[in-house]
Copies of this chain bind each other. A is one copy, B any other.
Amino acid sequence: MADSPRLSLHIPEPTRRPGEPPDFSAVRPPLAGGLDRPAVDVEASAIRDLAYGLIRVLDDDGKAVGAWDPHLEPETLRSGLRIMMTTRALDDRMVRAQRQGKITFYAKSAGEEAIAAGQALALRPDDMGFPTYRQQGLLIARGYPVAAMAHQVYSDRSDPMQGRQLPCLYSSRAHGFFTISGNLGTQFSQAVGWAMASALKGDDRIAAAWIGDGATAEADFYEALTFASIYRAPVILNIVNNQWAISSFQGLAGGEETTFAARAIGHGLPALRVDGNDFLAVYAVTAWAVERARSNLGATVIEHFTYRAEGHSTSDDPSRYRPAEEAKGWPLGDPILRLKTHLIALGEWSEEQHTALAAELDALVREAQRGAEAAGPLAQADPTVKAQAMFGDVYAETPWHLREQAKAMGEG
């Protein structure tokens, strides 16, 4: 006993900090096409290894290779590209608006656009999504007007959320897009409830949920896995491992010890780990999980291995905590560029088309922005509109005390 060593505590730290060169030596992406694609009705226990692999389809030359190649029509590929490029164009424009003091806040999904885009196309439009603030691409893919997004971000008189939500916290039941919470993680277990309801009603719609690497530490993540596995709910549980949670690297969420996909194993759920910057791979794993869920075989956990290419949000300055050049060094590249290269290699796209599309989308988001600015701030709307926006929808019917307060607000 006397000779027990003194204990010490391990505090995870990233290998590089500002001023140092980036270090991705721990990320050794395997060659594309190297992993088998099991049948969708495989036992979860038979594919535990996939939790430690990385499913990739696009190789370094932009060719689609291996068993996971989803063999998509060029039309679908171009749709995916368009969704991703729209997302990026909107993000860029809105961040500029924030820098100009026109809006209070914005969160981009730069570098991660393949996830929402690829998954949206593999899901059915009536499947319900439970997104985080980085799945704006899902809304775009499902045809929600970019103009309406700008109205929300501006909290303007046409904001469908009536000014009640922080920018980017969209909601659209009609587009299968669950109302985003400011609280991390809460939607993950709710999605399981939605999927359970669908199964209880003998419906054929499934649910998909997203969570960040950092937020996997929230209890809701665990409750989701527990309920999904026990009731075999038709849900896809996506972990978007973009390496960072504000200033915290993924080692602070457990990424030093094992993969995030491995969390599924303790619940007997199948786990797929995918190159999140590879549109084709994202599509392919999602299609596998969709088929499994829709065949009543239960939930799948997917870890999307990606990188948050910019700051956490407009409130953040990543140069304070990570090497300035880190984003550029990310070994899995840029998802838009990779899909573009693939399409061009297929002979289904050209630089000219690309430039033209970028210009078109730039015009689209400018137009959306103009619309938002023309609508004018909801905060300056007339008192009855404001009172409804402030006091409506707290309850199904507004009770006396809120009616009194609305009146008091009106009186100043």
A132 to B229, CA, bound (A): 26
- CB-CB under 8 A from A11, the residues of chain B are 231
Q: Is A401 part of the binding interface, using a Cβ–Cβ cutoff of 8 Å?
A: no
- CB-CB under 8 A from A204, the residues of chain B are 1, 4-7
Find out whether the CB atom of A9 lies under 8 angstroms from the CB atom of B231.
Answer: yes
Q: Chain B: which residue is nearest A200 at the CB level?
A: B9
Task: Mark out the residues of chain A between 189 and 236 whose CB falls within 8 Å of any chain B CB in the assembled complex.
Answer: 196, 198-200, 202-204, 206, 217, 219, 221-223, 226, 229-234
Q: Is A256 part of the binding interface, using a Cβ–Cβ cutoff of 8 Å?
A: yes
A359 to B198, CA, bound (A): 60
Q: Give which listed residue, B7, B231, B268, B269, contacts A199 with CB less than 8 A.
A: B7
Given known pairs A9-B196, A217-B226, the reply for A4 and B267 (CB within 8 Å) is no
A7 to chain B, nearest CB (A): 4
Given known pairs A1-B124, A6-B203, A7-B203, the reply for A257 and B230 (CB within 8 Å) is yes
- CB-CB under 8 A from A252, the residues of chain B are 230
Find out whether the CB atom of A265 lies under 8 angstroms from the CB atom of B262.
Answer: yes
Task: Mark out the residues of chain A between 258 and 284 whose CB falls within 8 Å of any chain B CB in the assembled complex.
Answer: 258, 262-269
A191 to chain B, nearest CB (A): 15
Number of copies: 2
A300 to chain B, nearest CB (A): 13
Find out whether the CB atom of A226 lies under 8 angstroms from the CB atom of B254.
Answer: yes
Task: Mark out the residues of chain A between 1 and 55 whose CB falls within 8 Å of any chain B CB in the assembled complex.
Answer: 1, 4-12, 44-45
Q: Is A386 part of the binding interface, using a Cβ–Cβ cutoff of 8 Å?
A: no
A47 to chain B, nearest CB (A): 13
Q: Give which listed residue, B7, B231, B267, contacts A10 with CB less than 8 A.
A: B231
- CB-CB under 8 A from A267, the residues of chain B are 254, 257-258, 263
Query: In the complex, which range does the number of interface residues on chain A fall in?
Result: 35 or more
- CB-CB under 8 A from A181, the residues of chain B are none
Q: Is A296 part of the binding interface, using a Cβ–Cβ cutoff of 8 Å?
A: yes
A262 to B262, CA, bound (A): 10
- CB-CB under 8 A from A268, the residues of chain B are 254, 256-258, 262
Q: Is A342 part of the binding interface, using a Cβ–Cβ cutoff of 8 Å?
A: no
- CB-CB under 8 A from A266, the residues of chain B are 258, 262-266
Q: Chain B: which residue is nearest A256 at the CB level?
A: B230
Q: Chain B: which residue is nearest A195 at the CB level?
A: B7
A249 to chain B, nearest CB (A): 12
Task: Mark out the residues of chain A between 89 and 127 whose CB falls within 8 Å of any chain B CB in the assembled complex.
Answer: 124
Point out residues on A near B: beta carbons under 8 Å. Answer: 1, 4-12, 44-45, 124, 196, 198-200, 202-204, 206, 217, 219, 221-223, 226, 229-234, 251-254, 256-258, 262-269, 294-296, 298
Selected A-B contacts with CB under 8 Å, 16 pairs? A1-B124, A4-B294, A5-B294, A7-B199, A8-B202, A8-B296, A9-B231, A9-B232, A10-B230, A12-B231, A230-B252, A257-B268, A257-B269, A258-B266, A263-B266, A266-B266
Besides the known contacts A6-B203, A230-B257, A254-B267, 17 further A-B residue pairs in the complex with CB atoms under 8 A apart: A1-B204, A5-B295, A5-B296, A6-B202, A7-B198, A7-B204, A8-B296, A9-B199, A9-B233, A10-B232, A11-B231, A44-B257, A217-B226, A229-B254, A258-B265, A262-B268, A265-B265
Which 10 pairs show the lowest CB-CB distances between chains A and B? A257-B268, A219-B219, A263-B266, A258-B268, A222-B222, A4-B204, A9-B199, A7-B199, A6-B202, A10-B232
